[in-house]
Amino acid sequence: MTGVTPADRAYLDYAGFAPVDPRVLAVMRPFFEAGIGNPSARHSLGAEARESLDAARTKVARLCGGAVSGVIFTSGATEAINLAIRGAALAARDRRRGHIVLSAVEHISVINACRDLEKSGATLTFVPVDAEGRIDPAAVGSAVTADTGLISIGAANGEIGTLQSVTEIGRIAASAGVPLHVDAVGALGRMPLAVESMGIDLLSLSANDLYGPPGTGALWVRPGLRLTPMMLGGGQENGCRSGTENLPGVVGLGVAAELMRTEAAHGENARLVELRDRLRKGLLEAIPDCRLTGPATARLPHHLSIVVRGVKADSMLLDLDLVGVAASAGSACAALTETPSHVLRAIGCAREELDGPLCFTLGRWTTASDVDTVLDRVPPIVSRLRTLTAFTPR
């Protein structure tokens, strides 16, 4: 990047990486510096470590709305998702229930975990979505068979921001006696989610999406639900995830979860909605042949996604970075594949739209000035790139 100072930069890629809150770092720091013991150790330092681990577990459970004993700490959301899907599916297979129901717009970590199980005999049913990425709960119910061992549905889509009807799907899953896994990355703390009241049996989350440390996550598991562990060893985390716990990271996750819950109650999501809607209105008015993907309102409060005809996402992102705007083309986890988004295909985007997705995700430190910066710098870039490709507006 040339000619742009940090003060000029507008960071709108919070879904890709959320900066760790300084308040989280302040609580984590002593756990790196003070020589705290192993939580499994039977001495006083180990007891102190266990107390810190238990306190973090309580904070995460409070944000999830479930029993404290259900929280299992992991290395991040991807491990939590794999433990939920593979662990539950393999346990269900013992009861000859090898069928999994998921939607066509799930995160790639969900899809790949299910595809891997398919190689060893599992069968998959992908429930379609409408043009705004919504899943019809009735379609989920219709997909369930006597062989279904798991339903996996994301609470909100990370590429187009669409919120799903989790409560209705939870009711259907409970009625069928099938465990429901909800990928809550990006959604937890930003939409109503409570595992007990919504019938969720497994919920995966990432610390970094809560402004906590990367490389830390958790899976909430309904007490009594059996999982086949993926990590074998000393039996930590109730035998579901062996290995010495990342105590500084887990403590940071706990603080981040508590801050997320508190700030949501004090209007943070409403603030983000106001900024997001101003950004959406400005971009759609300033850029011809550009449209919103996902719904206008029933979406994540911090999330805006559009498709721009006549330009390629990689070119837009490079030019935006050069003028100090950090955005994305969708899921950071899928960026390395360099293939058109399965989510955009599922909602029926035209071929020329698949090349030009642009996603802005706002966060705790986003200001009105950041929105003004984006509105000032994006339209000229789109216009210039279209000139280079001789784009003809419709």
Q: What is the pLDDT of residues 180-208, one digit of tens each?
A: 999 999 999 999 999 999 999 999 999 99
The b-or-e profile of 245-264 (16+ CB within 10 A means b, else e) is bbbbbbbbbbbbbbbbbebb
| Cβ pair 15, 158 in contact under 8 A | yes
Q: Find the domain containing 308 and state its range.
A: 6-20+267-388
Q: Give the CATH number for residue 334.
A: 3.90.1150.10
Same domain for 272 and 338, yes or no, is yes
Distance CA 290, CA 392 (A): 13
Same domain for 117 and 231, yes or no, is yes
Determine, yes or no, domain membership for 227.
yes
Which of 264, 299, 334 marks a domain boundary? Answer: 264
Same domain for 65 and 14, yes or no, is no
First CA to last CA distance, the chain: 34
pLDDT for the residue 238: 87
Same domain for 384 and 253, yes or no, is no
| Cβ pair 125, 153 in contact under 8 A | no
pLDDT for the residue 1: 45
Q: Is 325 helix (H, G, I), strand (E, B) or coil?
A: strand
Same domain for 168 and 61, yes or no, is yes
What CA–CA distances, in Å, run from 156 to 159, 161, 294, 299?
9, 6, 11, 7
> Per-10-residue mean pLDDT for the chain, 394 residues long?
70 97 96 84 89 96 97 97 95 82 97 95 97 98 96 98 98 97 98 96 98 98 93 88 92 98 96 98 96 97 96 95 94 60 95 93 98 97 89 67
Which of 232, 248, 264 marks a domain boundary? Answer: 264
Q: Which positions are catalytic?
A: 333
Same domain for 333 and 356, yes or no, is yes
Which of 264, 280, 312 marks a domain boundary? Answer: 264
Same domain for 326 and 232, yes or no, is no
Helix (H) or strand (E) holding 139: helix 137-143
Same domain for 177 and 300, yes or no, is no
pLDDT for the residue 2: 54
What's the domain count of the chain? 2
Same domain for 151 and 212, yes or no, is yes
pLDDT for the residue 36: 78
Same domain for 60 and 169, yes or no, is yes
Determine, yes or no, domain membership for 103.
yes
Determine, yes or no, domain membership for 1.
no
Determine, yes or no, domain membership for 394.
no
Same domain for 155 and 292, yes or no, is no
Distance CA 198, CA 192 (A): 10
Same domain for 245 and 154, yes or no, is yes
